Chains A and B, each alone.
Chain A
C-alpha cells in the first residue's frame, strides 16, 4: 500500500521567512496530493491540493510543487506569519480512494 513520509517533523522559522515541508510517497499510481493545516485543538483544514497532471500550484503565500518522477511533493509558505503556526499534514490518494497522511510537521513562526 501507499506510504507517505514527511520531513521535517518540526520547523521553526522567523516571521517573514519562508518555510518548506517535503513529502515523499511510494505508490507511483497516486494522483492527488492535498495539504491540511491543523491548529492546536482544532480540526484539519485543506489549504491547497495538487493533482498529478500539474507540476505546481499557487494560492497567495502558499504553493505546492510535485515531482512525479522522484515521487515527492513540497509545501512552500512565503512571508510566514505567526498565524501560520500549526501542524501541517501532507497526504496522497492511493488505490481504493484512500487518503494516506504523512506524520505531520509542527511549524512554529517566531515573531
Chain B
C-alpha cells in the first residue's frame, strides 16, 4: 500500500457525461500527478499540482481539468466523455515539486465509457 488513495475504483458511464475522480496523497506529500494509462497509449502524464498550484502540464485535453484543494486532495474532472477516454487513471504523489522525487502511485480508477 503506497498510502495514496483514489476513489472510485471503477466508474462506468455513457458518452457525453461528466465524471470526477478523486485522489488523496500520502501524508506529507505536497505534489499530486495525474496519469492516464490505456492499452495503446501507455502511461501518459496529464497534469501536476504542487501545494494547490498547477506545476506542470502534459497531454491533457481541454475537456479535462483538475484542481488541488487546501487539504491537498485533488480531483480530476473529465467532461463530454468519449469512448476513447476509457482508461485507467492513476494519481501519484511526491513530497517535493520536482519530478526527481519518487512518485507513489495510487491504485487507480478504471473508467469505462459506453
Give the interface size bracket for B toward A.
20 to 34
Interface of A: prevailing SS: strand
Query: Which of B43, B56, B105, B106 is A96 in contact with, Cβ under 8 Å?
Result: B56
CA distance in complex: A101, B42 (Å): 8
Query: Does residue B45 face the partner (Cβ distance < 8 Å to A)?
Result: yes
Q: Do residues B100 and A51 form an inter-chain contact, with CB atoms below 8 A?
A: yes
Contacts A44-B43, A102-B42 known; A96 to B57 CB distance under 8 Å? Answer: yes
- Give chain A nearest CB distance to B4 CB in angstroms: 8
Is B108 among interface residues, defined by CB-CB distance under 8 A? yes
| Contact between chains at B103 and A97 (CB < 8 Å) | no
Contact check: which of A43, A89, A93, A100 meets B100 at CB < 8 Å?
Answer: A93
State in angstroms the CA–CA spacing of A103 and B40 once bound together: 9
In chain A, positions 65-111 with a C-beta closer than 8 Å to chain B are: 89, 91, 93, 96-104
Return chain B residues, CB-CB under 8 Å to A100.
45
Interface centre among B58, B98, B107 (most CB of A within 10 A): B58
Q: Given A32-B99, A93-B100, A98-B58: A43 and B45 within 8 A (CB)? A: no
- Are A104's CB and B42's CB within 8 A? yes
Contact partner, B99, options A42, A45, A98, A102, Cβ 8 Å:
A98
Question: Which of A44, A91, A101, A102 is close to B105, meaning CB atoms less than 8 Å apart?
Answer: A44
Residues from chain B with a CB closer than 8 A to the CB of A20 are none
* Chain B contacts for A32, CB-based, 8 A: 99-100
B34 CB, min distance to chain A CBs, angstroms: 12
CB of A93 within 8 A of CB of B90, answer no
Contact indicator per residue, chain B 50-61, by CB within 8 Å of chain A (1) or not (0): 000001111000
The 5 closest A-B CB pairs, nearest first, are A43-B105, A97-B56, A101-B43, A103-B42, A46-B102
Q: List 19 A-B contacts (CB under 8 A).
A: A32-B99, A34-B102, A42-B107, A43-B106, A44-B90, A46-B102, A46-B103, A49-B102, A51-B100, A97-B48, A97-B55, A97-B56, A97-B97, A97-B99, A98-B48, A98-B56, A98-B58, A101-B42, A101-B44
Give me the interface of A with B, judged by CB distance under 8 Å.
32, 34, 42-46, 49, 51, 89, 91, 93, 96-104
